[in-house]
Amino acid sequence: MAQPDHKKFFENLSGAGKAIAVLTSGGDAQGMNAAVRAVVRMGIYVGAKVYFIHEGYQGMVDGGDNIEEATWESVSSMLQVGGTVIGSARCKEFRTHEGRLKAARNLVQRGVTNLCVIGGDGSLTGANLFREEWSGLLEELVQQGDIDAEAAEKYYALHIVGMVGSIDNDFCGTDMTIGTDSALHRIIEVVDAIMTTAQSHQRTFVLEVMGRHCGYLALVSALACGADWVLIPEMPPEDGWEDQMCQKLSETRSRGSRLNIIIVAEGSLDRHGKAITSSYVKDLVVQCLGFDTRVTILGHVQRGGTPSAFDRILASRMGVEAVLALLETTANTPACVVSLSGNQSVRLPLMECVQMTQEVQKAMDEKKFEEAVKLRGRSFENNLRTYKLLAHRKTESELPHSSFNVAVLNVGAPAAGMNAAVRSAVRVGISEGHTMFAVNDGFEGFYNGQIKEIKWGDVGGWTGQGGSLLGTKRTLPAKHIEKIAEQMRKHNINALLIIGGFEAFECLLQLCEARPSFEEFCIPLCMLPATISNNVPGTDLSIGADTALNAIVETCDRIKQSASGTKRRVFIIETMGGYCGYLASVGGLASGADAAYIYEEPFDIRDLQANVEHLTEKMKTSIQRGLVLRNENSNENYTTDFIYQLYTEEGKGVFDCRKNVLGHMQQGGAPSPFDRNFGTKISAKAMQWISKKLKETYRQGRVFANTEDSCCLLGMRRRALIFQPVMQLKDETDFVHRIPKEQWWLKLRPLMKILAKYKTSYDVSDSGQLEHVVRNRPKESDASAI
């Protein structure tokens, strides 16, 4: 397939003659196997020898069969497996000088001077100490006669790159650690299941989740399910919290709710350092309110199961980045951690991150809780602020005085997470003092007058609902602009929030262009991207795309599993997305596909033939199953049927073929934790922007906003959430095919090909450069994915 021109390729970074060892240490986390697979395959691809170190540092100390050379095939079929297949163990011996001396000898004997460590802060700190002692350890080994002076000179420096694998997301410097998103999936699956039984019996449930020193899982799951109360170690509740909590639960019930959810992190404490257990919270609710209350402790369920699409992609990207970092390192380069900031790979000095992580615990020990929250990073801080804003309803006297009416509507196809965004908008709007209006059935409902006020309690329980509860249509406003303007006048709408996909973008453009003729549209207008296709210009990610990716990956896992124990088989799978190849490409990376055909990367019969031959060659060796994804509009002639028939014919005698069209199952289902939180957070940010614009543009008793910057799309660009005027995004858009002209994820396609054993060019001009940990990022840069 055609490759884009890039300035800097990794071909300049040869791994010939180098040996890389990969180990997983400390607690296991879903996605570790994807990281191991990426390190092994990228390492082999660049010409390095790659070794597994089984059982973590214990295996490094014991040596022997624990350090085993990896092959391309040895990491097949492990992408979808939870935990770590190379094992992990806590090792007391490695903490001693003698243990590290044994480990050094075992590595030198195999010529390993590049170490990729996947673990938590303890594992990474141990790796850094090992690196600092390395030259001294080699001198001792020479003196003892275990290695010769030539070997000591040849292997004089040890290079370390870390990847953080921890479900707690407790490591400073990265927005997300490998395993966190999958753990959130496990928690949200349980919460969604519990909410149905709680509703039936009018019960209160207290859920205890992991997080001995970090409340990230508790906080984000509370945000994702709309929990009534959350308790986390970083921000112990004020004295008297027991009465406040019971009052809140009682108020929720009095407004018609049939259930309450309380989430407790296992390490929760009060202001005096006394543990707050789930059983204590249960007894409190029973004694004070007499509610039927149950406790569910999730425990190690959170560590188990298959990794989510997000964790597979994160781990694959980080694994490749780790190998590139090792190839570029010199004797003077400090040990680094490969990290995620927004949607961008970064490299940070390992010890700066460890030091900052330890400072969080120190601040908590010294009861400096505000400081602890700040040290966790802007993502954590923003999650906490958003949760407080949405969970705790202000009294009439606390609300700011405002006479503004703000309408919210969905446009285009439904996308999981839309309802979470609407809930967030309504509640933040009410907290800002506005009167909120809901429009049913998009702009079709708008011109028909389907507009009504929506209250705080009306959106209770919306976060976990799939589809669009407001109703959504693809109708554009241009043909009905006069009727819509009339409804705007009738309801005195002062601002509009549109949540939707490419149609929503077109709607906003049409409203903006109608401003000279209709003053009703001279108000703040904002759009949130929500579409499974992820084809909206001005944003790297859209609400709903993550849920669709998980549906694709889960189905691909099942389809591949259906062929286990049978003869060699290749599956041709068609995904949605219109002309946008995001789902096919990123879904292919997450499910270990051999090829993904998309419109953005033109292909011809020679490419198809080359793919078949490549797959045939792999099938003849050891691979038993192949996976090929095709975007629905990738090519009008090379249809899914054509590709299926071609592979069937050309693969005769080697493999047989099956095809699946995934269809609308990609659009359905409950939203993923990512989509719930992304929708919730960007919607809250959008409402705050609307409030600010309303104040700025209110003059002489009316709102008048006709500048380009009052009609914006809120999107995530690399590391930042940015409000972009839609008129400026027109030049970035291919309106015929309904896609942006530039798409960041195209840079991930060579990664998928490399991991599928194709020879290709991988652009490293965008790969992470070593940076320093920033304690307080600028305000606009809070763009954490979750």
Q: Which residues are catalytic?
A: 168
User: Residue for token digits 């249960």?
Assistant: 282
Q: Which two tokens stand for residue 581?
A: 């190849």
What's the CA gap between 363 and 356, in Å, rounded?
10
What's the CA gap between 210 and 220, in Å, rounded?
12
- Pairing outcome for strands 625-631 and 595-597: parallel
Q: Which residues contact 68 (CB under 8 A, 6 or more apart)?
A: 51, 52, 54
User: Residue for token digits 């922007």?
Assistant: 689
What's the CA gap between 314 and 181, in Å, rounded?
10
**Nearest-CA neighbor of 315 among 34, 42, 24?**
34
**Nearest-CA neighbor of 708 among 687, 730, 689, 727?**
727
Cα 564 to Cα 86, 230, 613: the distances in Å are 22, 44, 22
Q: Which two tokens stand for residue 451?
A: 């507009």
* Contact in structure between 376 and 213 (CB atoms under 8 Å): no
What's the CA gap between 267 and 250, in Å, rounded?
26
3-state helix, strand, coil in the chain (%, to 5): 45, 20, 35
SS3 for 226? coil
Cα 542 to Cα 348, 407, 528, 532, 679: the distances in Å are 28, 21, 8, 7, 9
* Contact in structure between 113 and 154 (CB atoms under 8 Å): no
Give the full edge-to-edge strand order of the sheet including 569-575. Answer: 595-597, 625-631, 569-575, 656-661
Q: Which residues contact 161 (CB under 8 A, 6 or more apart)?
A: 114, 115, 116, 117, 322, 325, 326, 329, 335, 336, 337, 338
Half-sphere exposure of 36 (CA within 13 A, CB side): 38
What's the CA gap between 179 and 306, in Å, rounded?
10
Calculate ∠ Cα 530-721-715, nearest 5°. 30
